[in-house]
Amino acid sequence: MALKTLFTGQNLLWMDEVDSTNSVLMGLAKNEKLAHGSVVCSYNQTAGRGQRGNSWQSEPNKNITASVYYQLGALPVANAFVLNKIVSLAVADTLKTIMPNQSVKIKWPNDIFVDNKKIAGILIENTLKQDAIAYTIIGVGININQEKFDVPTAVSVKNILGIDYDLNSALNIFLENLEALYLQLRSAKTGELNKGYFASLYKLSELQKFQQADNTFEATIEGVNEHGKLILKKKNGTAETYNFKEIKWIHEN
């Protein structure tokens, strides 16, 4: 399957083994002039990183672990969450292509779920110049052919479909989706991005349990604001916003 992109992945750096594709690409971005859309990919990542300092574990040659470099020029820091939207949508759309009969959802702020289980994670690291984002490193981990996980809340394409899926094809689908959504962003088509994002938002309009410090509470998910904060409606009718570092989901299923 040939890659059909203008720039994303046209400079594709394959590595047999890396500690973290994000770390490798960040090092390259600091030490040499990289082409816009450069990608580092390895099917054997030994020390993958996630949000909150968590690790991302992946069996060798089973899953997609890749990072993409985009030069943003002067995207205001205040608008940084739009990057989460396009990456989340790109991963979700990829999985919908691979598994058209499954319900794929974007779990705020940076996970992709299928049937209440995590199938992909995202780590975006931005480099700033004054009050703007000069360039971004977009890291994704997508569970494709791995069958067993250390945590019961993880799942893969193979767990669902029962067959191996070609990793190169899955990677190409993702890169093509990501570029298409990136071009929407550059064309200021934020209305379309927001519509797609909220249509796939996990547990939207549903009552959920959350933990904030030592306090557990229930609230209805109303959406996500332009700064990336989750909007929750409490039982008393008040709406409050939360940063991803301020609360944690409590899953009971």
191: its two tokens: 């209305």
The rounded distance, in Å, linking the Cα atoms of 221 and 207 is 7
| Separation of alpha carbons 232 and 220, rounded Å | 5
pLDDT at residue 57 is higher than 80: no
Structure tokens at 45: 């990542």
Please compute the mean of the pLDDT values over residues 147-155 and round it to a whole number: 93
The pLDDT confidence band at residue 52, using thresholds 50, 70 and 90, is very low
pLDDT of residue 252: 65
Q: Please tell me the class of the 12-199 domain.
A: alpha beta
Mean of all residue pLDDT scores within the chain: 92
Residue 245 has pLDDT above 90, yes or no: no
At residue 2, the pLDDT reads 84
> What integer is the mean pLDDT of 69-96?
95
Q: Higher confidence at residue 47 or residue 92? A: 92
Q: What is the pLDDT of residues 175-196, one digit of tens each?
A: 999 999 999 999 988 899 999 9
pLDDT over 90, % of the chain: 79
Domain boundaries, the chain: 12-199, 207-250
Q: What is the pLDDT of residue 36?
A: 97
pLDDT digits (tens, 9 = 90+) for 86-100: 999 999 999 999 999
* 12-199 and 207-250: identical CATH topology: no
Tell me phi and psi for residue 164, to 5 degrees: -75, 145
pLDDT above 70: residue 51:
no
Residue 228 banded pLDDT, cuts 50, 70, 90: very high
User: Mapping DSSP to helix (H, G, I), strand (E, B) and coil, where does residue 206 land?
Assistant: coil
Percent of the chain with pLDDT over 70: 94
How does 4-37 read in b/e, with b if 16+ C-beta sit within 10 Å? ebeebbeeebeeeebebbbbbbbebbeeeebebb
Measured torsion, CA atoms of residues 123, 127, 130, 132, in degrees rounded to the nearest 10: -60
The CATH number of domain 207-250 is 2.70.98.10 = no
Instruction: Please give the model's pTM, rounded to 2 decimal places.
Output: 0.94
- Can you give the pLDDT at residue 44? 83
Query: How far is the C-alpha of 8 from the C-alpha of 175, rounded, in Å?
Result: 6
> Is-contact 228 135, C-beta < 8 A?
no
The phi and psi torsions of 152 (rounded to 5 degrees) equal -75, -10
**Mean pLDDT across 75-94:** 96
Q: What pLDDT is attached to residue 74?
A: 80
